[in-house]
Structure 1
């Protein structure tokens, strides 16, 4: 068993000079949490990955969601916070498997578990690690070597293609300033 589609997104916007301070889900200052714009993206992603159109829902709604967990080597909560609204919505309307058991550097174990899932899998991770996660797949497709620091608005999609995978990109276009340009 293996998924027929694996989607990768970067966690939503983090605290910077331009996005402001990080805040937790209770509104308290926390530099390991999303910025306000990141929380806006997280909410919008819930509808993006659970669209009302039946055809798009079959393509985009994950049956399994993986988010980088928080631990001693990485205290960031941003990956988990990015998918929290989506996972909550999916739990209300369908069955979904959710895991934040892997830390950002546990890529090999993560990808081993991803490959035993069926259906559509969504992975939310740190942007610097996403290309290497894809490289751990058998017969991995060629993808951009780096995810740009300023891009929070793209979905990388891998489709099962025989013994390997095809690669495409889907712009989110959820918030003002999001780009339709592919990552190269």
Structure 2
């Protein structure tokens, strides 16, 4: 039986958009096409606040919880955006980000590692395969993550023998849904 009873899934934060003139930057503000946009870094910092502030704050933050483990997709030849998104939170919590798995790899090894964790787990992934993660946990019809959304949290809670999915808006930045 899985050890964790809560898995929180987020998409990496906002990315550069050359067509719109939005550049990627590293944490220091230097140009980096593989990192987040400035808005993405704002979201990453706000996520650190969201996931640490949720402890003991009642119904407004349920079912979020400070993670005891953090995973980020790492794919050869792709951006570092998932890691950039969760690094501020991991630092605040004193956690190492697990980057052993890619979003294009088989899901079973990643899910086995996630489910073996004690306590709540946060996973930051790429939107194209997040529906596969949801289907692997909950079964049922295929789900899709809207490519235009960076402002959601999918929370999976184990209740009895099944996983239940709750979709929560982050409401962290202006314009979030």
TM-score (norm 2): 0.88
Deviation at 1:70, TM superposition (A): 4.4
Corresponding residue for 1:10? 11
Corresponding residue for 2:167? 169
- Indicate conservation of the 8 Å contact 2:8/2:64, yes or no: no
Corresponding residue for 1:103? 102
Distance 1:141 1:45, change over 3 A: same
Q: Gaps spanning 5+ residues in structure 1: where? A: 180-184
Q: What secondary structure does 1:54 align onto?
A: coil
- Indicate conservation of the 8 Å contact 1:141/1:167, yes or no: no
Q: Gaps spanning 5+ residues in structure 2: where? A: none
> 46, 49, 52: which one pairs with 2:51?
49
> 74, 77, 82: which one pairs with 1:69?
74
Deviation at 1:39, TM superposition (A): 0.3
Q: Give aligned pairs, total.
A: 171
Q: Indicate the structure with greater helix content.
A: 2
Corresponding residue for 2:113? 113
- Indicate conservation of the 8 Å contact 1:4/1:120, yes or no: yes
Corresponding residue for 1:182? none
Distance 1:176 1:59, change over 3 A: closer
* Equivalent-residue separation in structure 1 for 2:73 and 2:143 (angstroms): 20
Measured on the aligned residues, the alpha-carbon RMSD in Å equals 2.0
Q: What secondary structure does 1:79 align onto?
A: helix
Corresponding residue for 2:131? 131
Deviation at 1:103, TM superposition (A): 1.8
- Indicate conservation of the 8 Å contact 2:8/2:153, yes or no: yes
Corresponding residue for 2:148? 150
Q: What secondary structure does 1:178 align onto?
A: coil
